[in-house]
Homo-oligomer: A and B are copies of this chain.
Amino acid sequence: MSKENVRLSPPLLWGILLPVMVLLLSACTTAAPVLRGTGDLGVLIERADGRVKIVDTSARAVLAQVEGLGDLSHASVVFSRDARYAFVFGRDGGLSKVDLLTGRIVRRIMQAGNAIGGAISQDGRIVVAQNYMPGGIKAFDAETLELVADVPASYGSDGQRSKVVGLADLPGNRFVYSLFDADEIRVTDLSDPAHPTTQRFPAGRQPYDALVTPDGRYYIAGLFGEDGLAMLDLWQPQQGVRKILAGYGKGDAPLPVYKMPHLRGWAIAGGRAYLPAIGRHEVLVVDTTTWQEVGRIAVKSQPVFVMARPDGREVWVNFAFPENGWVQVIDTLSQDVVDTLQPGRAILHMEFAPRGEVVWLSSRDDNRVFIYDTASHKPLHSIAAASPSGIFFTSRAARTGF
């Protein structure tokens, strides 16, 4: 560098300073995502494209989209304790941690060959995936996605492994899940991830999905291999699994099952559980004190999701192919179907706003998510999305059993 002085006119000086200032200012404004609360965010799965859209449920608008998430058929999502990150579980065993504020993937691992969703611990520190292949659950540090525990779903004398379904978090950093091939319910305590302990309960034939009541007390698994459901009181597990609704379809010729119903979700309202019957055009109603059937509600077709509006006054039901363009609404006070809607083609999932004023419905074949007012049952708005399936709002972060 020459040591001689540089002669600068004041305009020239500003000609240097100003661009520098503008550059710096624009750098710090464009680099910094907008400061915002995360209590009203959500994620829409675009199943065919390995992509999610991040949405603002107050503005009913898309904030960002995130690519590169792998096979998102049957994908599910849980949220970090601070509601900033979405953990996206792909069908291909991919587990991705997405930052909802920056719209970026901050970590991504392939943790299994074939997976079916996950859950997050009560304290938010452990994310658990349920896997078909290799069958079992795996636990990861929620911060780093490092593996902290691998719990195979082994059974029998020759060490075969079962597909795991119906995973849900429980108080005390425990997780409950079902073994489709081993006819068991298991509870694994991950409060010390280096030393997981597992309790096993015979469950009945082929549990295929399950729900836990919002308080984390009762776990109910649907059975594919027999006529009834398995119920475990997690406050009194020594009592073992109790069969409920045994023989609900007895004597009837079974209908072909077009899609297995989902149990996970809000299906408890006013002291009753509303459960989809497999292969039947009925919603089964169970008293959650006695666990006896107290009614059946005839619906349009084979129910898939049976979800209570957060205030419990209504239960919304969608259906298997070919009737998957319909949604019915049950009034839990009268136990009647009070509305039959046709929001769009192939309604795959529903998610209620946390306090229930609206419900978002994904219409795969219309490539739209429709937002319905739950008081009027009328559409308010819609959002374009490519083959949307699951819809997940951050309010799930504060809830047990998702």
Q: Which residues of A contact B (CB under 8 A)?
A: 1, 5-10, 13, 16-17, 20-21, 24-25, 28-29, 32-33, 35-40, 58, 79-85, 100-102, 122-124, 171-173, 215-217, 235-236, 269-271, 288-289, 310-313, 333, 354-357, 375, 394-395, 397-400
Contacts and interface: CB of A to CB of B under 8 A. Distances in A.
Nearest to A85: B37
A358 B369 CA distance: 37
Contacts of A288: 271
A20 B244 CA distance: 73
A6 B10 contact: yes
Contact of A122 (B37, B80, B81, B357): B357
Contact of A356 (B171, B269, B355): B171
Contacts of A269: 215
- The A interface, classified by DSSP as helix, strand, loop or mixed, is loop
Contact of A217 (B235, B312, B354): B312
Contacts of A235: 313, 333
Nearest to A191: B375
A58 B82 contact: yes
10 contacts: A24-B28, A39-B83, A39-B84, A40-B124, A171-B355, A215-B269, A217-B312, A235-B313, A235-B333, A355-B400
Contacts of A216: 311
A355 B312 contact: no
Contacts of A354: 397-399
Given A102-B35, A357-B122, A81 B24 contact: no
A28 B395 CA distance: 31
A216 B332 CA distance: 14
A402 to B, nearest CB: 10
Nearest to A310: B400
Contacts of A24: 21, 24-25, 28
B83 A40 contact: yes
B38 A37 contact: yes
B32 A33 contact: no
A38 B82 contact: yes
B398 A39 contact: yes
A398 B82 contact: no
Nearest to A312: B215
B398 A355 contact: yes
Contacts of A29: 28
A29 to B, nearest CB: 7
Nearest to A82: B37
Given A28-B24, A28-B25, A235-B313, A40 B82 contact: yes
Contacts of A25: 24, 28
Given A354-B398, A399-B354, A81 B102 contact: no
A287 B398 CA distance: 27
Which of A79, A122, A123 counts the most chain B CB atoms within 10 A?
A122
B37 A80 contact: yes
Which 9 pairs from chain A and chain B are nearest by CB?
Answer: A39-B83, A37-B84, A37-B82, A28-B28, A354-B398, A395-B398, A215-B312, A40-B82, A37-B38
Nearest to A31: B28
B37 A35 contact: no
Contacts of A32: 28, 32, 35
A269 to B, nearest CB: 7
Given A172-B375, A235-B313, 17 more contacts: A5-B8, A6-B13, A24-B25, A24-B28, A28-B28, A28-B29, A32-B35, A35-B102, A36-B82, A36-B84, A37-B82, A38-B83, A39-B394, A39-B398, A215-B312, A216-B311, A271-B271
